[in-house]
Amino acid sequence: MSLKKILVCLDADPQPSVFDGVVAVDAGVDVLFRHGAVTTAQVRDLVYGAIFTRGPQELKHTAVFVGGSDVTAAEALCKAAHEAFFGPMRVSVMLDANGANTTAAAAVLAVRRHVPLSGAIVTVLAGTGAVGRRVVRLLAREGARVRVASRKLTHAEGTCDKVSRVVPGADLTAWTNENAMAVEGAQAVIACGPPGVELLPKGYLAQAVGLQAAIDLNAVPAHGLGDVAPTDKATHHGEIVCYGAIGVGGTKMKIHKAAIAKLFTRNDLVLDAEEIYAIGKEL
């Protein structure tokens, strides 16, 4: 008899995420241990329970998922989980708080379907948040020339700085969201702003010479890109192929499920932005 696949879900929010739970069930997980209001101090004992209960050959049937709405808190939980591992005593871990990794992967994959990324100029509006930073990282690793735009130039510069350290040789420049020139000459634009905040008004994209693809990850009006509807999915508006949040959502869900399934193939996987993007490329 094969062991049941157990996913330990760690969530800093008071209530563990129903979203992540349903996706895990649909990805084939047999048993969920859902934990809410998890603090970093509690992680060690929870992880010990995962690594000290099954034999070394069986540990791939247990995995940890770190979710919740707060990406920073989730990163701290993830770090605490890794600190509890030692030698072969570990289980695979996936981080997808607020859907940041799966969303970033789906957004970059949407662009990639239409624009060869290597050498392309891609503008990431609101590129300093949890999703934006991951989009920038993924684009940089693909060899794109990334314009990181934020409300404040110093924030954009900070993100360029951080990503440069993990992606040596990355071609990154800092811009402000409001600077219309940020999209000028770019082949693609990805808007990662928060719900309800318009970053570029309707009618703007048609004037951007050479723009081939536009992605807006904001599903709640006002939309980030006034020219893109949430349901756009490889929809052409003039010369530009567009994806809205819902249009990207199908790919995001497929990536999420594939990543969960992959967790149970080994006991030493760490699924963060790059690994999750790689899973998306193989779909």
Q: Does 17 bind a second copy (CB under 8 A)?
A: yes
- Cα–chain-centroid distance for residue 74? 13
- Nearer to a second copy (CB atom), residue 159 or residue 251: 251
Q: Where does residue 119 fall: left (phi above 0), alpha (psi -120 to 50 degrees), or beta otherwise?
A: left
**What is the C-alpha separation between 70 and 202, in angstroms, rounded?**
31
Which residue from 229, 211, 218 is spatially nearest to 115, judged by alpha carbons?
211
Site for a second copy in 224-253 (CB under 8 A): 253
Interface with a second copy, residue 14, by CB under 8 A: yes
CB of 252 to a second copy, least distance (A): 11
- Is 7 within 8 Å of 65 (Cβ atoms)? yes
* Binding test (CB under 8 A) with a second copy, winner from 2, 18, 165, 168: 18
Query: Which of 153, 219 has the CB closer to a second copy?
Result: 219
| Biggest distance spanned by C-alpha atoms of the chain | 62
Q: How far is the CB of 39 from a second copy (least distance, A)?
A: 8
Q: Which residues pair with 62 in a beta bridge?
A: 6
Q: According to the binding rule CB under 8 A, does residue 33 interact with a second copy?
A: yes
Binding mask 35-74 for a second copy (x = CB under 8 A): x-xx---x--xxxxxx-xxx-------x------x-----
The answer for 202, left when phi > 0, alpha when psi is -120 to 50, beta otherwise, is beta
d(CA 133, CA 14): 26
Interacting stretch for a second copy, rule CB under 8 A, among 16-24, 105-113, 130-138, 235-243? 16-24
- The interface with a second copy within residues 95-154 (CB under 8 A) comprises none
For residues 153 and 114, what is the distance between their CA atoms, to the nearest angstrom?
29
Q: Does 86 sit near a second copy (CB under 8 A)? A: no
Q: Which residues bind a second copy (CB under 8 A)?
A: 3-4, 6, 8, 14-23, 25-26, 31-35, 37-38, 42, 45-50, 52-54, 62, 69, 253
